[in-house]
């Protein structure tokens, strides 16, 4: 290009860019951030615009503004970008116009639209237009598959791409997309959004403006899509499912920023199917998948493969629902966790040295009367690899640990560590919740032991009886604490703090508080400064919010930072994989503590029998007695047969419970294999005897063999 031609182009580009920056491109609305029609574009006078354009031209390669990464021109507007013109157009023009989806991106702007982020949409106008298009399809003027073709033909140029997030959002609400026959179009729309990661990010921020009903509308379509595609053959639809999952992930991220839906709304029953029980559950290499269903083991294998081979998210070989854990309910996540733990166990067990030594278990030998010291000494010795399956031996007892001894060990350790004599925790009444004692004199290793016990319980599939607030699980997962977390511990304290924040009185005169917090240890008052020189800084109306924030933070974070870090360190010594971080705090609590809701009718429904059947006289009497128990008696019974008084994470209906006939009528007590949730029940002849002997058994059940 000659110097003269280059100067002419420079002048032409400058004038065109100057007009675009001061008057716009001729559209009422434009998404080009270099255009005056862009919402929120700064109002520039001619001199300011000229200076800005000259700066861009000077920095552009060879002075070519179109080659600049910071600027580009809007294309010339056309009449078909106007909805009103389309409505009065002839059939041919309608068909042509609907092939350009920018018509949606450039229209449906509310009259009172003042946002600088361009996220508002005239939903009523859009709904009316969808009705208009539906009529055109019914009249045969517009093909039923017009949208699929329009997506296929949508231009990928720089300007058109700006409209993709907005277009996808609006088209998601087209009624026809909820029709099963249009699910391929829904997937195609998601594919358009997945062309670039920035489209997904922008789309997610558009979602921020949607209310609860609109979010649920999107989720309903997605859930139905997944159900149909999974039933139609999961393997053959992985690519389409991947695109739709990425779209839904953008919706989820928006909801995380601005809560409108409970996280459980994102669960999907098509994915959270009940896991099959296999005879051989140790060989991960033998995992199989049924056509048309989700196999959790296959999902975990795909997840591992994708991570190990660095496969991209759009590669069908690397797709797994495990990359979208918000779609999984607590029970399915716990199943993933079992496979992860099993995988880690097998890596240790199959170590050649362990195979030679047959050292496949982590053996813990403890005395009942010296439980904590024995446990600590063996843990601190470093000789036990807790990534192996745990086996516990109570010295001096006959019990062989097939699971039941281990369950009792965990319960006894927890009971002892939470004993008030240890002063590691404070008990808050009436909630009966334990919280870390900031003034404890106990060594941090004891808190690390509690964390390790929690981690080992998860790793070995044992439910614990722990009464701790939800904030413990939030902190383990790295979620920021709030005043509502302190409310669960001490609602009266929070109420006082909120009154202080809301009062119109003079806070300094009424409360006479400084930036300090007081605790008691052995009847001695201990003063903690909330900030430097806090004892000399009065709380006033101006700084009361800071005082409350520091007060709450001290109780939940600063005051217990060292002992909680020890607790957390112990927990993640065992639970260091990916899956544990998928859980929500409430789900993690259920995983560790089990489900407090005991539905014995669900337990009865799924119980299996050996030597009896569900219509046997003894079985009928048995369930009548159990259903008549008080809540405390039910918990004792459950602990007798399973080793825990809590239900599994998804309720008693998921418990593998077996009742076996154990001889004729006698005065013998029933017995149980807690390792296998197996009850051995004599064929008692009458209800009174059965009830008396069942209660006698559950009231005297602790330990294994001789003491």
Residue 56 burial (CB count, 10 A): 17
Distance CA 277, CA 286 (A): 13
Decide: 286 and 280 in contact? Cβ < 8 Å.
yes
Sign for the pseudo-dihedral over CA of 622, 624, 625, 626: positive
> What's the pLDDT at 400?
60
Whole-model pTM?
0.83
How far are the Cα atoms of 86, 179, 197, 291, 498 from residue 236, in angstroms, in the given order? 39, 20, 24, 10, 56
Decide: 428 and 435 in contact? Cβ < 8 Å.
yes
Decide: 169 and 120 in contact? Cβ < 8 Å.
no
Decide: 452 and 386 in contact? Cβ < 8 Å.
yes
Distance CA 531, CA 515 (A): 7
Decide: 332 and 296 in contact? Cβ < 8 Å.
yes
Distance CA 410, CA 529 (A): 38
Q: Which residues of 533-570 are buried (b: 16+ CB within 10 A; e: fewer)?
A: ebeebebeeebbeebbebbbbbbbeebbeebbebbbeb
**Burial of 288 (C-beta count, 10 Å sphere; 0-12/13-18/19+):** exposed
> What's the pLDDT at 448?
92
The set of residues, in sequence order, having a beta carbon less than 8 Å from that of 11 and lying 6+ positions away, is: none
The set of residues, in sequence order, having a beta carbon less than 8 Å from that of 493 and lying 6+ positions away, is: 486
The set of residues, in sequence order, having a beta carbon less than 8 Å from that of 665 and lying 6+ positions away, is: 682, 683, 684, 685, 689
Classified as helix, coil or strand, 429 is coil
CA neighbor of 392 nearest in space, from 359, 358, 363, 413: 363
* Relative orientation angle of helices 444-459 and 585-593, to the nearest 10 degrees: 80
> What's the pLDDT at 707?
26
For 139, the token pair is 């009249």
Quickly tell me which residue has 């302190």 as its tokens: 486
Decide: 551 and 517 in contact? Cβ < 8 Å.
yes
> What's the pLDDT at 701?
65
User: Which ranges of 68-182 does DSSP label H, i.e. alpha helix?
Assistant: 83-87, 91-97, 102-105, 123-138, 146-153, 158-161, 164-171
Distance CA 499, CA 515 (A): 17
Q: Which residues of 151-176 are buried (b: 16+ CB within 10 A; e: fewer)?
A: beebeeeebbbbbbbbbbbbbbbbeb
CA neighbor of 81 nearest in space, from 117, 133, 128, 28: 28
DSSP-assigned letters across all residues of 152-195? HH---SHHHHTTHHHHHHHHTT-GGGGSGGGHHHHHHHHHHHTT
Widest Cα–Cα separation across the chain = 113
Distance CA 590, CA 458 (A): 11
For 251, the token pair is 């919706």
DSSP-assigned letters across all residues of 478-538? TPPP-HHHHHHH-HHHHHHHHHHHH--S-HHHHH--BSEEEEEETTEEEEEESSTTGGG-B
Decide: 31 and 166 in contact? Cβ < 8 Å.
yes
Distance CA 439, CA 52 (A): 61
Quickly tell me which residue has 């009971």 as its tokens: 415
| Per-residue pLDDT reduced to its tens digit, 379-393 | 877 777 877 888 888
Residue 479 burial (CB count, 10 A): 14
Residue 150 burial (CB count, 10 A): 20
Residue 25 bears catalytic tag: no
> What's the pLDDT at 294?
76
> What's the pLDDT at 236?
77
> What's the pLDDT at 80?
59
> Residue 573: which H helix or E strand, with range?
helix 561-574
Residues (pLDDT < 50) of the chain are 115-118, 275-292, 703-707
Residue 518 burial (CB count, 10 A): 8
> What's the pLDDT at 313?
75
Decide: 415 and 421 in contact? Cβ < 8 Å.
no
The set of residues, in sequence order, having a beta carbon less than 8 Å from that of 637 and lying 6+ positions away, is: 626, 629, 694, 698
How far are the Cα atoms of 601, 609, 625 from residue 606, in angstroms, in the given order? 9, 10, 18
Is the link from the previous residue into 540 a cis peptide, with omega within 30 of 0?
no
Length of the chain: 707
Of 35, 512, 593, 675, catalytic: 675
Chain centroid to CA 561: 25
Strand order in the sheet with 608-610: 608-610, 658-661, 678-681, 671-673
Quickly tell me which residue has 């909820």 as its tokens: 178
> What's the pLDDT at 564?
97
């Amino acid at each position: 290009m000659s110097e003269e031609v280059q100067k002419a182009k420079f002048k032409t580009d400058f004038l065109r860019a100057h007009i675009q920056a001061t008057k716009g491109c001729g559209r009422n609305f434009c998404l080009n951030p270099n255009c005056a029609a862009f919402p929120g574009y700064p109002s520039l006078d001619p001199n300011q615009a000229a200076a800005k354009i000259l700066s861009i031209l000077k920095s552009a390669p060879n002075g070519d503004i179109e080659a600049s990464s910071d600027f580009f021109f809007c294309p010339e507007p056309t009449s078909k970008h106007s909805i009103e013109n389309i409505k009065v157009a002839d059939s041919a023009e309608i068909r042509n116009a609907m092939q350009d989806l920018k018509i949606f991106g450039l229209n449906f702007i509310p009259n009172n639209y003042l946002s600088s982020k361009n996220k508002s949409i005239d939903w009523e106008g859009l709904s009316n237009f969808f009705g208009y298009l539906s009529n055109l399809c019914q009249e045969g003027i517009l093909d039923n598959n017009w949208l699929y073709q329009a997506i296929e033909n949508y231009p990928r140029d720089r300007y058109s791409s700006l409209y993709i997030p907005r277009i996808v959002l609006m088209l998601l609400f087209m009624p026809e997309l909820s029709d099963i026959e249009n699910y391929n179009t829904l997937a195609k729309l998601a594919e358009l959004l997945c062309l670039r990661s920035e489209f997904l990010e922008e789309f997610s921020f558009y979602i921020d403006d949607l209310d609860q009903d609109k979010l649920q509308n999107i989720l309903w379509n997605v859930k139905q899509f997944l159900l149909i595609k999974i039933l139609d053959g999961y393997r053959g639809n992985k690519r389409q499912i991947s695109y739709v999952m990425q779209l839904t992930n953008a919706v989820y991220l928006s909801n995380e920023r601005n809560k409108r839906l409970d996280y459980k709304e994102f669960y999907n029953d098509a994915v959270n199917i009940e896991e099959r029980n296999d005879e051989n559950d140790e060989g991960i290499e033998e995992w199989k998948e049924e056509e048309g269903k989700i196999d959790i083991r296959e999902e975990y294998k795909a997840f591992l493969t994708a991570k190990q081979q660095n496969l991209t998210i759009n590669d069908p070989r690397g797709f797994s629902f495990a990359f979208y854990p918000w779609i999984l309910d607590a029970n399915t996540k716990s199943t993933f966790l079992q496979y992860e733990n099993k995988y880690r166990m097998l890596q240790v067990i199959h170590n050649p040295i362990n195979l030679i030594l047959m050292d496949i278990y982590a053996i813990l030998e403890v005395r009942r009367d010296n439980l904590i010291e024995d446990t600590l000494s063996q843990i601190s010795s470093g000789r036990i690899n807790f990534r192996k399956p745990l086996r516990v031996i109570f010295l001096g007892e006959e019990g062989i640990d097939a699971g039941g001894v281990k369950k009792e060990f965990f319960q006894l350790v927890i009971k002892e560590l939470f004993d008030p004599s240890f002063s590691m925790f404070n008990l808050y009444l009436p909630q009966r919740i334990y919280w870390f004692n900031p003034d404890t004199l106990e060594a941090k290793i004891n808190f690390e032991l509690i964390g390790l016990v929690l981690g080992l319980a998860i790793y070995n599939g044992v439910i614990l009886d722990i009464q701790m607030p939800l904030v413990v699980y939030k902190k383990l997962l790295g979620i920021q604490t709030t005043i509502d977390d302190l409310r669960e511990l001490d609602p009266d304290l929070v109420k006082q703090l909120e009154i202080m924040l809301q009062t119109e009185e003079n806070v300094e005169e009424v409360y006479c508080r400084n930036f300090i917090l007081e605790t008691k240890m052995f009847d001695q008052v201990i003063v903690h400064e909330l900030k430097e020189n806090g004892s000399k800084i009065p709380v006033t109306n101006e700084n009361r919010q800071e005082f409350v924030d520091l007060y709450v933070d001290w109780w939940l974070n600063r005051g217990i930072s060292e002992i909680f870090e020890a607790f957390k360190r112990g927990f993640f010594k065992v639970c260091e994989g990916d899956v544990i971080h998928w859980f929500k705090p409430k789900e993690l609590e259920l995983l560790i503590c089990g489900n407090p809701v005991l539905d014995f009718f669900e337990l009865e429904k799924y119980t299996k029998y050996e030597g009896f059947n569900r219509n046997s006289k003894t079985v009928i009497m048995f369930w009548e007695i159990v259903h008549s128990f008080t809540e405390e008696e039910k918990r004792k019974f459950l602990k007798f047969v399973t080793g825990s008084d809590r239900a599994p994470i998804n309720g008693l209906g998921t418990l593998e419970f077996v009742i076996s006939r154990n001889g004729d009528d006698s005065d013998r007590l029933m017995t149980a294999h807690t390792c296998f949730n197996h009850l051995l029940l004599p064929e008692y002849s009458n209800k009174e005897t059965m009830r008396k002997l069942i209660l006698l058994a559950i009231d005297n059940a602790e330990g294994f063999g001789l003491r």
